[in-house]
Amino acid sequence: MVVAIFVLFLLAVTGVSLMFLGTTEAKMGRQSTHVKKAFYLAEAGEEFARTALWLANGPNSFTDDLIGYAGGNGVFDLAVDDLAFVYNAQGVPTGVTGIGDDSLFAGPTIFGSGWYAAVLTNDPAEAGGGITTTTDTNNLVMLTSISVSKTGASEVVQAIVQRREILPQLPPATITMLGPDPDFQGGASNVHEYVGDDCGGRGIPGLIVPVVGAVGDDAELSAEEGIRERNGPDYTSGSYTAEESFVDLSDSTDPMLVSNNFDGLSDTFTDCEKLHALVETMREVADVICSGPSCAFPSTLYSNVIFVDGDLEINPPGGAGTLIVTGELRYNGRASWRGMIYVFGQGRFVHQGSGNGLISGAIMVADIAGPDDIYGTADDCSGGDDGFSTAVFDMSGGGNATTQYCSADIHANMPNPPYKIVNFRQG
Residue 262: pLDDT over 90: no
pTM: 0.70
Encode pLDDT of 123-142 as tens digits.
999 988 899 999 999 999 99
Query: Where do the domains of the chain lie?
Result: 34-163, 175-411
Q: pLDDT at position 216, please?
A: 94
- Poorest-confidence range of 21-35, 106-120, 205-219, 260-274? 21-35
Please, are residues 106 and 45 in contact by the beta-carbon 8 Å criterion? yes
Query: Residue 36, SS3?
Result: helix
Encode pLDDT of 27-85 as tens digits.
555 556 677 888 999 999 999 999 888 878 877 889 999 999 998 899 999 999 999 99
Closest CA to 402 of 236, 260, 247: 236
Residue 151: pLDDT over 60: yes
Q: Residues near 194 by Cβ (< 8 Å), separated by ≥ 6? A: 174, 175, 186, 211, 212, 233, 234, 235, 236, 245, 402, 403, 404
Phi-psi region of 174 (alpha: psi -120 to 50; beta: other; left: phi over 0): alpha
Burial of 378 (C-beta count, 10 Å sphere; 0-12/13-18/19+): exposed
Give the whole-angstrom CA distance, residue 114 versus residue 155: 11
412-424 burial, b at 16+ Cβ within 10 Å, e below that, comes to: bbbbbbebeeeee
Banded pLDDT at 417 (limits 50, 70, 90): low
Question: What are the backbone angles phi and psi of residue 371, rounded to the nearest 5°?
Answer: -60, -30
- Poorest-confidence range of 4-8, 12-16, 27-31? 27-31
Q: What is the DSSP string of 202-244?
A: TSSTT-B--SEEESSHHHHHHHHTT--SSS--EEEETTEEGGG
Q: pLDDT at position 276, please?
A: 96
Q: How many Cβ atoms are within 10 Å of 309's Cβ, its own excluded? A: 19
Q: How many Cβ atoms are within 10 Å of 366's Cβ, its own excluded? A: 27
Q: Residues near 161 by Cβ (< 8 Å), separated by ≥ 6? A: 50, 53, 140, 141, 142, 143, 419, 420, 421, 422
Give the whole-angstrom CA distance, residue 51 versus residue 122: 17
Please, are residues 143 and 159 in contact by the beta-carbon 8 Å criterion? yes
Q: pLDDT at position 299, please?
A: 67
Please, are residues 296 and 309 in contact by the beta-carbon 8 Å criterion? no
Please, are residues 52 and 84 in contact by the beta-carbon 8 Å criterion? no
Query: Residue 394, SS3?
Result: strand
